[in-house]
Structure formats: C-alpha cells, structure tokens
Amino acid sequence: MTTSPFRSAVVPAAGLGTRFLPTTKTVPKELLPVVDTPGIELVAAEAAEAGAQQLLIVTAPGKEAIAAHFADSGELEQTLADRGKDALVAKVRRAHELIAVRTVTQAEPLGLGHAVGCAREAIGADEGCFAVLLPDDLVLPSGVLTRMAQVREEKGGSVLCAFDIPREEISAYGVFDVTDTGDADVKQVHGMVEKPAAADAPSTFAAAGRYLLDVAVFDALDRITPGAGGELQLTDAVALLISEGHPVHVVVHRGGRHDLGNPGSYVRAFVDFALADPDYGPELREWLTARLAN
C-alpha cells in the first residue's frame, strides 16, 4: 500500500451559485445531481481515492444541506433495509463512508483564495501540503492527484493540474506561464495570471480545479490584495510564491473534463454520465438519436 503524501483535501463550496438561480435559492449548486449523485460526492470520491483522509468543505451560511449530505443517514438506511432495498442502502451510505468530512464557514464571499485560507486552522501542524478540488470541475478519469503527488515528491513545492484550452476560452481561467521539463506532461511554471485577455494569456495551459499546495500558500494568501473581479484569488497567491522562488509545476491532464459550474456545460456532464450508465444509457442514446434526427 502506498501512503498518500497529503491528508486533507479542501473543497471550496461557499459560492452563491447565481448561474443556477432560481434552483440555488434553496439547493446548493454542489448538490445538483449528475444522473443521481451530487457533483460534490463525485469530487469527495476522487479525493478519497487519492488517499485523502479528511475533506474540508468550505461552505457559507445557508448551505447546511452540503454537510447533511455527508452525515450519517442511519434512519433512512434502516427504512430502505426493512424494505429489502440493499442497493439503495449502499448508495445512501456511500457519502458518509467515503471520507471524514468537516465543514469550515466562509462568512463573506471574498474569493477562492480567501475560501482556501479559511481551511487553514483545520489542517494539522504536521501537514506539509494539502489538496484543493474545485467541485465545479470534474477531471476524468480520476488519478491526476496521484500523479501530482508524485511530481511533488520529485520536485518539491506545489503542483497544479493544467488543461490545454482553446485560446478563445482562456480568459475564463487561471493561466500558466510554463517551460517544458523532460516529461511532456509535466511543465515548470514561471508565472500565473487569473482571467487574462486572450491576447495577454502567457499560454493556453489553464488551471483546471485540482491543486496540491504546499502549506506555504497560507502565508502568501495573507499577503495578496484583491485581484481579478475584486476577489482574493488563489492564482495570485501561487504567483506570489513563484516570484519568491517556490517551485511550482503543472501536470497536463490529457483526459476529459466537465464544468458543472454553469447550466450549459452541466447538461453536457449529465448527459455524458447518463449515456455511460448501464440503466439509463441505452434508452437515452436511442431517444437522443431520434430527437436529433428531427
């Protein structure tokens, strides 16, 4: 068995979810289902698979349903068991058994950097690094965190996940200034900029929601000022670390990716997962084919 080089995984989930209004008046965006499972449970499963032992969910007042999703559901499980619904018992129990979950409250929406900073007190003094998984991003197949951890072992510092994004879409992302290493999928990062204009983007390699950060980032987060969108940006803390000589690398993920953060791309994720589902896939494929022919 290999031991994971990180113990805590931080999942920022404090946003208002404005792109999903009116649903997000009462339902946190992170609980919207991908077929039948909330996106944040998929992300929790990825963190657990990579060896994380605690999931630190950064939430906001009013989003208590997220913690409730991971809480013990013994009563419901008993009801289902009494009815002989063993498969459902397993489904219901999964979130609770995956990983230990703690929530941390971000009282004010001051940005992703600020949200990550809120997790500081919940990370043990002996932890040298921690993972961050943005629940809007599904990175497929899973496994990139394990690869990122190997790169940290080799090169030290912090390791992020990058996707090669079409230049016309680049201004929605944190973008890396990179040079090659001996490994085509690992690049050294010399700078990082949040949401640059396409013409100013230093490359087409963008941050894709998976970070393995040295705890030195907390000190950097204390020293940044509001950046893009007037928010305290995680990107700016990483850029500050780089400027001070902290090693930062990216693992370029060549697999798939879904963005659950807006309705258009969320629908694609839903359909993609549903097509792969043994129960729903075959009929959906047939229906979609007929629907598109009309």
- The site for ligand G1P (CB under 6 A) is made up of 112, 134, 136-137, 173-174, 194, 206-209, 233-235, 261
Shortest separation between residue 157's beta carbon and ligand G1P, angstroms: 18
Helix pair angle (86-98, 74-82), 10° resolution = 160
Shortest separation between residue 294's beta carbon and ligand G1P, angstroms: 35
Shortest separation between residue 203's beta carbon and ligand G1P, angstroms: 13
Q: Which of 133, 136, 135 is nearest to 145 (CA)?
A: 133
Distance CA(219)–CA(96), nearest Å, equals 33
Distance CA(257)–CA(252), nearest Å, equals 12
Residue nearest to ligand G1P (CB): 174
Question: The tokens 């001070």 sit on which residue?
Answer: 244
Q: Which is nearer to ligand G1P, 163 or 273 (CB)?
A: 163
Q: Which is nearer to ligand G1P, 145 or 208 (CB)?
A: 208
Q: Which is nearer to ligand G1P, 134 or 159 (CB)?
A: 134
3 state SS for 57-118: EEECCCCHHHHHHHCCCHHHHHHHHHCCCHHHHHHHHHHHHHCEEEEEECCCCCCHHHHHHC
In 157-244, beta strands by DSSP E = 158-164, 174-180, 186-194, 205-214
Q: Which is nearer to ligand G1P, 123 or 162 (CB)?
A: 162
Q: Would you call 202 helix, strand, or coil by DSSP?
A: coil
| Cα-Cα-Cα-Cα dihedral sign, residues 286, 283, 42, 150 | negative
Distance CA(272)–CA(54), nearest Å, equals 29
Can you count the helices (H) and strands (E) in the chain? 10, 13
Shortest separation between residue 249's beta carbon and ligand G1P, angstroms: 16
Shortest separation between residue 206's beta carbon and ligand G1P, angstroms: 5
Distance CA(293)–CA(43), nearest Å, equals 35
Q: Which is nearer to ligand G1P, 77 or 214 (CB)?
A: 214
Shortest separation between residue 209's beta carbon and ligand G1P, angstroms: 5
Question: The tokens 């697999």 sit on which residue?
Answer: 255
Q: Which is nearer to ligand G1P, 98 or 206 (CB)?
A: 206
Shortest separation between residue 34's beta carbon and ligand G1P, angstroms: 16
Shortest separation between residue 228's beta carbon and ligand G1P, angstroms: 8
Q: Which is nearer to ligand G1P, 89 or 234 (CB)?
A: 234
Q: Which is nearer to ligand G1P, 14 or 66 (CB)?
A: 14
Proportion of the chain in helix, strand, coil states, percent, rounded to 5: 45, 25, 30
